[in-house]
Structure 1
Amino acid sequence: MLSRIKHLRSIVVIFTAVVVGPQCFAAERESAEVLLARMAEASRSLNYSGTFTYEDGAGSVESLAITHKVQEGVEIERIAHLNGPPRVFSLPQKSSNCESVGSLLLKGDGAAFKPNPNYAYSVRGRNRVAGRIVDLLRVIPKDELRYGFTLGLDVETGLMLFAVVRSPKRILERVQFTSLNLQGGESSNAQLAKNTPCQELRVISRSPLAPTWVPDGFALAGYTYSEKTGHVETYTDGLVSFSVTVQTRLAESNEALQGEAQRGATVIKLALVAVENVPVQITIVGEIPPATANRILRLVRPSNKG
């Protein structure tokens, strides 16, 4: 019986490739700029849910579920792990229309979106992901300070359904949707937010320490502070991001850590430094090469903002 099923499956695959395949993928290609603008717009305005897999490049694979919606102009996103210990993460809620310079780089603003000039872009045809046709876009870094990508962008909505992150030597991580449910497309609030002109918001950081160097194209996207987490600055170049966390209480409590760890494309660098004889824990976390994180860490200096 099993061999019979395999035989029938082979016939279906061959028939689909010969009869359906060319027609499915035959269409005029969009430019890389248009594809990226649609991706940025879809990521903030669509209501959807789905499941996807995450592979870290070392053989570990996780299954996750995601729900994204816009309510009264505010984005809400929830991610739950489907294997291993139950874990649920709710990303911080944020306005879907007014963003900082860094957030606009990351999210885009429709027609005004421009690709980062520190990458080269190449549209590589089409494929299928989660039963949906996607445009394949190669994003190639022009320096060694960042990674390259292959993105699969849903033809209908622009949503990213597939992403591979590469170093010059190997694949670091892979994310791929296995199912997608569009929940009525855009909400009226999302459509209103998208069509409403946004006044640029300026992110003001009060961190006592800050990087004096970041790679070209990166901008400050956010700043938060709490006694528990310390000062957290977030930077993005529109495709990836990293954070710089400064903590004094952790360092003073002898709980500070030093060293480096990496999973997939995400690197973590921890260092304990003395600033005016006060121990300070500095942590760099982001989807950047370890050498880039090291350079950022070495060039963190007092900012005179505290």
Structure 2
Amino acid sequence: MLLAASQASAAGPGKLADPRPGDGRAERTVGEWLARMHDASRQRNYIGTFVVSSSNGSMSSARIWHACDGVRQVERIEALSGERRSTFRRDEEVLTFFPETKTVRSERREALGLFPELLKPDETAIPEFYKAKRVGSDRVAGFDADIVQVLPKDALRFGYRIWSEKKSGLVVKLQTVDEAGRVLEQAAFSELQLDAPVRMDKLAQMMAVPDGWRVEKSDAVKTTAAAEGWGLKTPVAGFKPTSCYKRTAEGIVQWIFSDGLASVSLFVEEYDRQRHLQEGSFASGATHTVTRRVQDWWVTAVGEVPPQTLRAFSLSLERRK
């Protein structure tokens, strides 16, 4: 799964081909490509092994069972590396089981981690900030795929190289690339059964908490940045606020933004000189982090975007009450 950097920085294994999508019609627009991929992730059942690797050498894998009916979705993710855990997602409800401690973490997530996690058509600026073209074909996990290059039109976001299964559009491999074409992170199915007989009711039954297990519920409550006294002096081009939460026990506010593909989270908490020692910028694969003190507050900006994007957010953030 893990490609050498020299190989991954090219278009990837596969053959360059006729730039048409393969169905005899003209090249799709970036919106059409991404809508097709998004719909496939919501409408197809599958079972597969998913491997994620980063440029820093880290790698993780998971077994996924995904069932959907076009409206509702249920998913089981069994971690094959790291701490033993099983995660179940039913629409916005997420339960993570930790067998070592017999603990279940319960939370709600508006975003299910699908790629692309598209905003509503009238809310997205994807065509304004990205362009796409088909650059070839390949086989991934036994399936024929179109290789689609999604390139940003500015320096505030990364590009993507996407392997989209020809018949359904399902994303079977994804690379996040920087402005020089270097692969920062790769996620791909090493094995996939498309349209597998996965039943939503069977997966839902597995979400029952066993007797004797402890349930830990997230204390995050939905709020707005304005209600918490925060705003942006100037918006960051293409990014729109999607949600905001407050973790009451820790006093941390999380403000989430998206441009339709990339997302950014701003975490704001009271400044503590014991814990918040140094402002800085950090990277792990495609994920970057920028920390900064704003008056009596500590801001942590995180996202799969270039560090200059996170700095723009942190510099624009202001206290309004």
User: Scaled by the length of structure 2, what TM-score is found?
Assistant: 0.67
Q: Is the alpha carbon distance of 1:91 and 1:297 closer, same or farther for their aligned partners in structure 2, counting shifts above 3 Å?
A: farther
Q: Which residue of 2 aligns with 1:294?
A: 311
Work out whether residues 54 and 186 of structure 2, in 8 Å CA contact, stay in contact via their aligned partners in 1: yes
Q: Which residue of 2 aligns with 1:256?
A: 276
In terms of mean alpha carbon deviation, does 122-131 or 252-261 score higher?
252-261
Separation (CA, whole Å) in 2 of partners of 1:229 and 1:57: 34
2:42 is aligned, of 32, 41, 44, to 44
SS in 1 for 2:308: helix
Residue 232 (structure 2) pairs with residue 211 (structure 1):
yes
Aligned AA (2:237): D
Separation (CA, whole Å) in 2 of partners of 1:296 and 1:41: 31
Separation (CA, whole Å) in 2 of partners of 1:216 and 1:70: 34
Separation (CA, whole Å) in 1 of partners of 2:127 and 2:179: 19
Aligned AA (1:239): L
Structure of greater Rg: 1
Q: Which residue of 1 aligns with 2:171?
A: 160
**Paired residues, what number?**
257
Separation (CA, whole Å) in 2 of partners of 1:159 and 1:109: 19
Spell out, residue by residue over 1:205-233, the C-alpha distance to the aligned partner (whole angstroms, 9 max, x if none): 43322333443221111221222362111
Q: Which residue of 2 aligns with 1:271?
A: 292
Work out whether residues 125 and 238 of structure 2, in 8 Å CA contact, stay in contact via their aligned partners in 1: no
Spell out, residue by residue over 1:216-263, the C-alpha distance to the aligned partner (whole angstroms, 9 max, x if none): 221111221222362111111111111111123xx3584335433211
Give the gaps of 5 or more residues in structure 1: 1-16, 189-202
User: Scaled by the length of structure 1, what TM-score is found?
Assistant: 0.70
* Higher helix content, 1 or 2: 1
Q: Is the alpha carbon distance of 1:47 and 1:145 closer, same or farther for their aligned partners in structure 2, counting shifts above 3 Å?
A: same
Work out whether residues 78 and 87 of structure 2, in 8 Å CA contact, stay in contact via their aligned partners in 1: yes
Give the gaps of 5 or more residues in structure 2: 1-13, 94-109, 202-222
Work out whether residues 48 and 185 of structure 1, in 8 Å CA contact, stay in contact via their aligned partners in 2: yes
Aligned AA (2:160): F
RMSD of the alignment, in Å?
A: 3.7
Q: Which residue of 2 aligns with 1:176?
A: 188
Identity level (%) = 27
Residue 303 of structure 1 and its aligned partner are, at CA, apart by 4.0
Q: Is the alpha carbon distance of 1:113 and 1:127 closer, same or farther for their aligned partners in structure 2, counting shifts above 3 Å?
A: farther
Q: Which residue of 2 aligns with 1:224?
A: 245
